[in-house]
Amino acid sequence: MNEKYMLNFDTRELFQEEDEYLVLGSGIAGLYTALKAAAAGGSVTVLTKQGTMDTGTDKAQGGIAVAFGDFDSPALHQEDTLVAGAGLCDVEAVGVLVREGPGRVRELIGMGAVFDSDGHGFSLTREGAHSRRRILHASGDATGAEIQRVLTLQTSYNKKIKVHEDHYVVDLLVRDNTCYGVLAFDRASGTCKVFRARVVVLATGGLGGLYEHNTNPEIATGDGIAIAFRAGAEVMDMEFVQFHPTALNLPGAPRFLISEAVRGEGGYLRNAKGQRFMPKYHELAELAPRDIVARAILKEMAITGSNQVFLDITHLSPKVIELRFPNISMTCARYNLDINVDPIPVAPAAHYMMGGVKTNLVGETSIKGLYACGECSCPGVHGANRLASNSLLDGLVFGGRIVEAAREFLKGYQPKRHEFACDWLLNPPEVDFAALRHELVVMMDQKVGPIRNSSGLKEALDFFEQWRSLQQNSVATADGMEVKNMLQTGELVAEAALARSESRGGHYRVDYPEPVKLWQKHIIFRR
């Protein structure tokens, strides 16, 4: 049974559109890549599964890390990134990130992005595991929204770029290990369409939506990773999911992110007894790497028998809180929490995927004509644990590199005209996809969360095995397609987590609590 597609189709019977570049996703990685492709003279189509603004970028609070400070340098930024990555960063990839990052950010500023200043230049803050103040931020804690605004505006002005909203990418169209485009489901019309391109770029974001408690937008369900894996692309480091230490933990409230910058400005973590605890876990205290802070919080919760700890900034001046954290303050106020006088109840939640579709330093995947950038990709830059605020920079740097490489790829390239079809999938089964999705995210939280063990991971794999036959059935709705992708990606995370019999970075096994030299290597999956 060939399970490389999610539904039955025949491209000869479908609407077709063709461009030089096809970009899947409308966050920082996708739109920046689209703009660079258009500037290089290419015609570009962008597909996004909901609205253009429905992205992880728009929700990013803390900022973008870049070595702009007088006492900073790319070399220092690289050193901090390597330390946070716990021995699994690709050193060359990190070098590319920190050296090219300042130029990419200046491009963003040239497009109209406005970052906070203090009268002497950019107002830079510090976050966990950074040795210098190097975090650019906008409107206090709305950096991602400012970047999304600028890129969306620039894209709307560009006549070489077409954006199709509410188009759910179903599958890649691959033959002889070459990608020729995608099959997409138009939610508005309820029909499938074919989008052909010489260069296809995955910029589909992360997979936080696999977990019941997460800080991501609802669209972050790992679709790009799932469709690439089905098509035969290599995926890497799938066990390394970052759990942000501080997400709002209030009854009736979503797990809203409480930015790393809150601790960067001097916030303290206190347990249920009011005791500050991070100094006993790490010399950097609240500014330790995220994986260390998250596990310390979970340990304190277990010791005190509480389901939360508290992030205390009541000792900071109201003016600092107003200027730096207006969005956090306003959100907490909706739930009758005044962060000037009330400590913020927090707990860890799924936040970022370090692994993804394996790429080289110019975004090429193992499939010809298919590139990837941003959170769905894995060039090895984040290793086992991403350094705070390196994610937005990652999307800029490697998105721009894709276009530079693709220009060479396109020289003299004459793609063949293939038609694609699938008629072997069974009729859609009667499945309550909403109920299955809920069962899946609860299971992932409990069995494949920040604290893992062999028995729990095996239970998770048993769950996926129970639903494996679903991959042999066609599916009629975008919601059903999304759940099938979640099953595929969740299984990859669980399988890699069971295979890695050590603890490193964002992957922690209570049955193997220490890092092992033998495991200073990557796990790569391919169908």
So what's the pLDDT on residue 54?
Answer: 92
So what's the pLDDT on residue 492?
Answer: 98
DSSP character string of 340-366: TTSPEEEEEEEEEES-EEE--TT-B-S
Instruction: Answer whether residue 520 is part of any domain.
Output: yes
**Residues 6 or more apart whose Cβ sits within 8 Å of residue 37:** 20, 21, 23, 44, 199, 403, 406
Pair (14, 161) in one structural domain:
yes
Spell out the alpha helix ranges (H) of 345-430. 391-410
Pair (360, 342) in one structural domain:
no
pLDDT over threshold 90, residue 106? yes
Mean pLDDT throughout 421-448? Answer: 94
Q: Which domain holds residue 112?
A: 9-240+354-410
Mean pLDDT, the chain, as a whole number?
A: 95
Q: How confident is the model at residue 2 (pLDDT cuts 50, 70, 90)?
A: low
pLDDT over threshold 80, residue 460? yes
Q: Lowest mean pLDDT of 47-56, 251-260, 297-306, 477-486, name the range.
A: 251-260
Residue 100 corresponds to which tokens in the numbers above?
A: 């090219």
Query: Are the beta carbons of 3 and 232 closer than 8 angstroms?
Result: no
Q: What is the pLDDT of residues 334-387, one digit of tens each?
A: 999 999 999 999 999 999 999 999 999 999 999 999 999 999 999 999 999 999
Pair (235, 265) in one structural domain:
no
CATH number of the domain within which 473 lies = 1.20.58.100
Q: What is the pLDDT of residues 197-234, one digit of tens each?
A: 999 999 999 999 999 999 999 999 999 999 999 999 99
Query: Are the beta carbons of 143 and 62 closer than 8 angstroms?
Result: yes
The helix-helix angle for 223-231 and 478-499 (nearest 10°) equals: 80
Pair (234, 252) in one structural domain:
no
Pair (226, 122) in one structural domain:
yes
CATH number of the domain within which 155 lies = 3.50.50.60
Mean pLDDT throughout 389-410? Answer: 94
Instruction: Answer whether residue 416 is part of any domain.
Output: no
Mean pLDDT throughout 230-254? Answer: 95
Higher pLDDT, 454 or 409: 454
- Which of 327, 348, 369 terminates a domain? The answer is 348
Q: CB neighbours (10 Å) of residue 61? A: 24
Instruction: Answer whether residue 66 is part of any domain.
Output: yes
Instruction: Answer whether residue 3 is part of any domain.
Output: no
Residue 40 corresponds to which tokens in the numbers above?
A: 């290089």
Pair (255, 233) in one structural domain:
no
Q: Residue 194 pairs with which residues in a beta bridge?
A: 16, 183
Residue-wise burial string across 348-377, b where 16 or more C-beta atoms lie within 10 A, e elsewhere: bbbbbbbbbbbbbbbbbbbbebbbbbbbbb
Pair (30, 120) in one structural domain:
yes
What 8-state DSSP symbol labels residue 12? Answer: G
Mean pLDDT throughout 139-145? Answer: 92
386 counts as catalytic: no
Distance CA 246, CA 259 (A): 7
Pair (438, 517) in one structural domain:
yes
Query: Are the beta carbons of 370 and 405 closer than 8 angstroms?
Result: no
- Catalytic one of 104, 198, 290, 509: 290
So what's the pLDDT on residue 428?
Answer: 80
What 8-state DSSP symbol labels residue 273? Answer: T
Instruction: Answer whether residue 314 is part of any domain.
Output: yes
Instruction: Answer whether residue 415 is part of any domain.
Output: no
User: Judging by DSSP bridges, how do beta strands 15-24 and 44-47 pair with one another?
Assistant: parallel
How many angstroms from the chain centroid is the CA of residue 17? 28
Instruction: Answer whether residue 2 is part of any domain.
Output: no
Domains identified in the chain, total number: 3
Pair (167, 231) in one structural domain:
yes
Pair (308, 232) in one structural domain:
no
Is the whole model's pTM more than 0.75, yes or no? yes
pLDDT over threshold 90, residue 112? yes
Higher pLDDT, 272 or 429: 272
Instruction: Answer whether residue 275 is part of any domain.
Output: yes
**E strands present in 410-511:** 421-422
What 8-state DSSP symbol labels residue 426? Answer: B
Distance CA 373, CA 403 (A): 11
Spell out the alpha helix ranges (H) of 411-475. 433-447, 454-466
CATH number of the domain within which 332 lies = 3.90.700.10
Mean pLDDT throughout 458-486? Answer: 95
pLDDT over threshold 80, residue 3? no
Q: What is the pLDDT of residues 157-192, one digit of tens each?
A: 999 999 999 999 999 999 999 999 999 999 999 999
Q: Lowest mean pLDDT of 30-39, 251-260, 336-345, name the range.
A: 251-260
Q: How confident is the model at residue 119 (pLDDT cuts 50, 70, 90)?
A: confident
Q: What percent of the chain has pLDDT over 70?
A: 100
Q: CB neighbours (10 Å) of residue 389? A: 28
Pair (171, 236) in one structural domain:
yes
So what's the pLDDT on residue 190?
Answer: 94
pLDDT over threshold 70, residue 299? yes
Pair (396, 430) in one structural domain:
no
